[in-house]
A and B are shown apart, each in its own frame.
Chain A
Amino acid sequence: MSDEPTTRDEIAKLLGPAGPEVSCERCFELLDQYVDLELAGEDADARLPGLRAHLDGCPACREDHESLRDFVRLQSSSG
């Protein structure tokens, strides 16, 4: 399997999420809660619907989410 983007990926990226999604502002409001739920092993997507779809469609918010999740995990593991 190649990690190269496919035409299908390209089209999906252009069209964005098909379902309902929250706004960037709402995403930022909820992001800390979402990350703590994720790291606690809870179903963050069920608790905060629409946020995952936004992360799929908004590269900047997705990067913010990945950074926060990884940084909090790092801080937790370092005590």
Chain B
Amino acid sequence: MHLPVTHQAPAASPSFYRRRPVSGAVGRAEGLRRDDSAAWLAALRGPAAVREEAIAELHDLLLRGARYELNRRRHTLGHVPHGELADLATQAADDALAAILAKLDTFRGASRFTTWAYKFALLEAGVRARRRAWHGREVSLRDDEWSPVLDGAPSAQQVVEANELLEAIRVAIRTALTPHQREVFAALALNGVPIDVLAERLNTTRGALYKTLHDARRKLRASLADAGFDVATTTTLGGGS
């Protein structure tokens, strides 16, 4: 199964948070120290003029974070016009700011306030970057288009064992997983579809898809163990998003 490509161009949105002159206590929030969480909270909960200035300063930081993230991913966004990237950064900063203000009371001080705030901007920018990079690309949910890497293992015996395990995984994918688990596993683990892209195409969330992937992996491990393979200690680090 292949999901249709998305044709709708990402919409640009004006920012409502650009710094502008304010009257009254102008500048009281200006120059907030990045590591002074209490000062940030006080300013963001302060009188209107102070709060407005703090929001503008926070938006500047979030925009810097969003630009950093998009620049970090420029190898996947080379075809995207500069103006559109600027819009994506602004949208990410705007949405991050809205999320931060809505969740301000959940900040418990386990980290610096700015670290807490930056993660919203980087997440928003990262999700947008992944989706923009895959804009117009087909997403495959098929499990039969996968070509695993077959490297030269140190010994012929190890090559044989790896091939046996790969074949057992192919069988387990088809016999142990539900159709939904198989499609999600195929897209994410076999075909390298970014989870945020799949979430958008399936109208769901990253968390829901990862839960499905996690359950599928557990079933595969159990199936492989039942077949006599020792996968209990196999650990992972790899794959793009």
Binding site for B on A (CB under 8 A): 4-18, 21, 23-25, 28, 31-33, 35-36, 56-60, 62-64, 67-68, 70-72, 74-76
Contacts and interface: CB of A to CB of B under 8 A. Distances in A.
Interface of B: 34, 65, 68-69, 72, 110-112, 114-116, 118-119, 122-123, 126, 130, 148-151, 153, 162, 165-166, 169, 189-190, 194-196, 206-207, 210-211, 213-214, 217, 220-221, 224, 231-241
B220 A64 contact: no
Contact of B115 (A9, A11, A24, A36): A36
B112 A71 contact: no
B241 A63 contact: yes
Contacts of B111: 32-33, 35-36
Contacts of A4: 149, 151
Among B34, B115, B217, B231, which residue has the most Cβ atoms of chain A within 10 A? B115
Q: Could you tell me the dominant secondary structure of chain B's interface residues? A: helix
Contacts of A7: 148-151, 153, 162, 166
Shortest Cβ-Cβ A-B pairs, 4 listed? A59-B241, A32-B111, A60-B241, A12-B236
B148 A10 contact: yes
B214 A57 contact: yes
A24 B221 CA distance: 21
A71 B217 contact: no
Contacts of A23: 207, 210-211
Contacts of A64: 119, 122-123, 126
